[in-house]
Each structure stands twice: as structure tokens, then as C-alpha cells.
């Protein structure tokens, strides 16, 4: 059975990708420093604790498991923190990725699926966003991911390391079987924050801005189920192993939901009230972010299975309630 090195495999999206890899017949080897990851989320293959900056440890893990490819999720991902502490993001996300790419090169691994982001596009010039939209990130987090995409292109040209960069929109939901889910600290994503308010774990949810040029005045975002993201990673991996060229794909549902719609849906799914407080706009929040995933649908045959908002929130709610039960 072929092994795949999964950096950040103990994290939210990485753990879902590990499950998808195992279902597809691969053995995922999670390489994670557990700063933000959770050892208990590693259930479908071995966990190797280590940091991307520790080249000796990385070499030893690769030499032991001899992966045929890598999936690279390990990164800091808080936009606000990246603005106040950019050095942390460039050191970890960029320098750490360089360490990984050099290790893959030196061990003869020629395929890498990279966890990128729609934040590489910056402020949308047209919607929905397509892959040929200019990449002009407006924060260090997006810039760090853009730099890794550039490094991947250069490593392909110089060393034949082919890659697929998957630019996510808003990952959401949890494994429908309840085996893994979202658990950030601090939590910044809208859906888990809304569910915390529904569960009484926070007094309210703050709606940042109600005067945008959107149907109900609140920001609109494209939410994609994390299991659908994981499936796309496996499709990308298979394509690379079969000789596909380096490229990038958007991953989104192609439709947006407003903050108010998310709150209303959460109240409907949970049967609980979600107290909301209206606040001012946050700097840098575009009114609408919606992606066009036509290319990956056409070229790799990807099709989201869990696309509707009720399903996304229902799976997240089951995970939330399970966590709450486990903490009692």
C-alpha cells in the first residue's frame, strides 16, 4: 500500500484528508508538530511528530516511510495574526515549506498537493473568482501562500516536482461519521462560532457590518464541506501520480451564503436561538467572496457531495455536541 506524507495531518482539513486517503487505499503518514493539531485526530495512519524546520527529523520520517507523494497542509492560518506578526507567517509558512520542498526534491518525491487559499487573490475584481484572476493578496497569510505556489512552480521547472495547489474558499462542516471535526483555539470561523452561541458557550455572535451591497447587507461567503475538500485532494493526488502537470484549482461550491443566512440556518438546524449583536465592518472584509470551481469539476471530475448549507451545519453541529458530551 502506497504511503503519502501529510504535513499538518493532525489538523482540521488534514485529518479529513487522511481519512479520504485511507478510503482510497493509501496509508497517510501525518507529520505534525501538534502546536495546533490534535494527536487524537490521527486515526488512519501513523503520527510522526516533528516540525517542518527540523530537516533532520523530516528526512528521517521520509526515509522510514518512503512516501510516493506529499499533501502539504501545515501552516499558520489566522489572517489577523499574520498582519500583526508577519514574521511568524513568513518563517513558518514560507521557510517551512521551502524545507519540505527541498526534502521532497532530495528524496526523489515528485508529486505534492498543496493546501492554498482564495486569500491569494486579494480583493475580487470580478465574481465568481476564477483561477486566472490576478493574485494580489492583501495580508501576509495570503502572501505566504502565494509565495509557496510560486516556489512550487519553480521547483517543477528546476527539479520536476509537479504539484496541484488547491485554493479553498470557506472550509466548514465535519466528518459525517463523526470521526473528526473542527477544533481551533482560538476559533475564528463563523460556523463554529455561531454553533458555540447556539450551545450557550458564548453569549452571542457579532455580525460585522450590515450595510454591505449584498441582499441582506451582511457579508457573503462560499462555504465548502471539509469532506468534499478532502475528496478533491485525493483526486489531485491521483492525477499527479498519473503524470498530470502542475496547476491550481479553486475549491468552492460556487454559491454564497450571507452571515444572516448562516445564523438563520444554524437556528433551524439546531432548534436553538443564536443571539446576535450588530457590529461595525471589519477592515479588509470584501462584501462577497464566491469561487468558480468549474475547472476542477471538468478536469478531475470533482463533484461536491455535501454542498447545501443545512448539511454542512448539521454535520458541524453533531461534532460540536459530541465534543460537548465528551467534555462533561
pLDDT for 327 beyond 60: no
pLDDT for 183 beyond 90: no
Grid cell 461567503 — which residue?
A: 221
Ordered by where they begin, the domains of the chain are 3-172+224-251 (3.40.50.720), 190-222+254-327 (3.90.25.10)
Question: Of residues 82 and 186, which shows the higher confidence score?
Answer: 82
pLDDT for 80 beyond 60: yes
User: Using N-to-C axis directions, what is the helix angle for 96-106 and 140-159, rounded to 10°?
Assistant: 20
- Report the pLDDT value the prediction gives residue 326, as an integer from 0 to 100: 59
Among 261, 274, 267, CA closest to 309: 261
- Report the pLDDT value the prediction gives residue 284, as an integer from 0 to 100: 78
Give φ, ψ of 262 to 5 degrees: -65, -45
Strand order in the sheet with 220-221: 257-258, 220-221, 288-289
Q: What's the rounded Cα separation, in Å, for the pair 261 and 255?
A: 12
Active-site amino acid positions? 141
pLDDT for 296 beyond 60: yes
pLDDT in tens, 45-63: 999 999 999 999 999 999 9
pLDDT in tens, 188-198: 899 999 999 99
- Report the pLDDT value the prediction gives residue 328, as an integer from 0 to 100: 32
- Report the pLDDT value the prediction gives residue 315, as an integer from 0 to 100: 98
CB atoms within 10 A of CB 244: 17
Task: Confirm if 121 and 176 have CB atoms less than 8 A apart.
Answer: no
- Report the pLDDT value the prediction gives residue 31, as an integer from 0 to 100: 98
Q: What rounded mean pLDDT belongs to the chain?
A: 95
pLDDT in tens, 251-282: 999 999 999 999 999 999 999 999 999 999 98
Segment holding 29, helix H or strand E: strand 27-32
240 contacts: CB under 8 Å, gap ≥ 6: 69, 111, 112, 113, 162, 163, 164
The confidence band for 184, taking pLDDT boundaries of 50, 70 and 90, is: confident
pLDDT for 290 beyond 50: yes
pLDDT for 109 beyond 50: yes
Q: What's the rounded Cα separation, in Å, for the pair 38 and 210?
A: 36
Sign of the C-alpha dihedral computed for residues 186, 187, 193 and 195 taken in this order: negative
Rounded to whole angstroms, what are the CA distances from 38 to 45, 147, 168? Answer: 14, 27, 22
Strand order in the sheet with 27-32: 47-49, 27-32, 3-7, 69-72, 111-117, 162-168, 247-251
For range 220-234, the mean pLDDT = 97
DSSP symbol at 129 = B
DSSP symbol at 215 = T
Task: Confirm if 113 and 73 have CB atoms less than 8 A apart.
Answer: no
Task: Confirm if 168 and 115 have CB atoms less than 8 A apart.
Answer: yes
Amino acid at each position: 500500500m502506497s504511503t503519502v506524507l501529510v504535513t499538518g495531518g493532525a489538523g482540521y482539513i488534514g485529518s479529513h484528508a487522511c481519512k479520504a486517503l485511507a478510503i482510497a487505499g493509501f496509508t497517510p503518514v501525518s507529520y505534525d508538530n501538534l502546536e495546533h493539531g490534535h494527536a487524537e485526530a490521527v486515526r488512519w495512519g501513523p503520527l510522526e511528530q516533528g516540525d517542518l524546520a527540523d530537516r533532520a527529523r523530516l528526512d528521517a520520517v521520509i526515509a522510514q516511510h518512503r512516501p510516493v507523494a506529499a499533501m502539504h497542509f501545515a501552516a499558520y492560518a489566522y489572517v489577523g495574526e499574520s498582519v500583526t506578526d508577519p514574521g511568524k507567517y513568513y518563517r513558518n509558512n514560507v521557510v517551512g515549506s521551502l524545507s519540505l520542498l527541498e526534502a521532497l526534491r532530495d528524496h526523489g518525491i515528485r508529486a505534492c498537493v498543496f493546501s492554498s487559499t482564495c486569500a491569494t487573490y486579494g480583493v475580487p475584481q470580478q465574481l465568481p473568482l476564477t483561477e486566472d484572476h490576478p493574485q494580489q493578496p492583501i495580508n501576509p497569510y495570503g502572501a505566504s501562500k502565494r509565495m509557496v505556489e510560486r516556489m512550487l512552480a519553480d521547483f517543477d521547472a528546476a527539479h520536476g516536482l509537479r504539484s496541484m495547489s488547491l485554493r479553498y474558499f470557506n472550509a466548514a462542516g465535519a466528518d459525517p461519521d463523526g470521526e473528526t471535526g473542527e477544533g481551533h483555539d482560538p476559533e475564528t470561523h463563523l460556523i463554529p462560532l455561531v454553533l458555540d452561541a447556539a450551545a450557550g458557550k458564548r453569549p452571542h455572535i457579532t455580525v460585522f457590518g450590515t450595510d454591505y451591497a449584498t441582499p441582506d447587507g451582511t457579508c457573503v461567503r462560499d462555504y465548502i464541506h471539509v469532506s468534499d475538500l478532502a475528496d478533491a485532494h485525493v483526486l489531485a493526488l491521483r492525477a499527479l501520480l498519473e503524470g498530470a502537470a502542475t496547476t491550481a484549482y479553486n475549491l468552492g461550491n460556487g454559491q454564497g451564503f450571507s452571515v444572516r443566512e448562516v445564523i438563520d440556518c444554524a437556528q433551524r438546524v439546531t432548534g436553538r436561538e443564536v443571539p446576535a449583536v450588530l457590529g461595525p465592518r471589519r477592515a479588509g472584509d470584501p462584501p462577497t467572496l464566491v469561487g468558480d470551481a468549474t475547472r476542477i469539476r471538468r478536469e478531475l471530475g470533482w463533484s461536491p457531495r455535501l454542498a447545501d448549507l443545512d448539511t454542512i451545519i448539521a454535520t458541524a453541529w453533531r461534532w460540536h455536541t459530541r465534543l460537548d458530551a465528551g467534555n462533561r
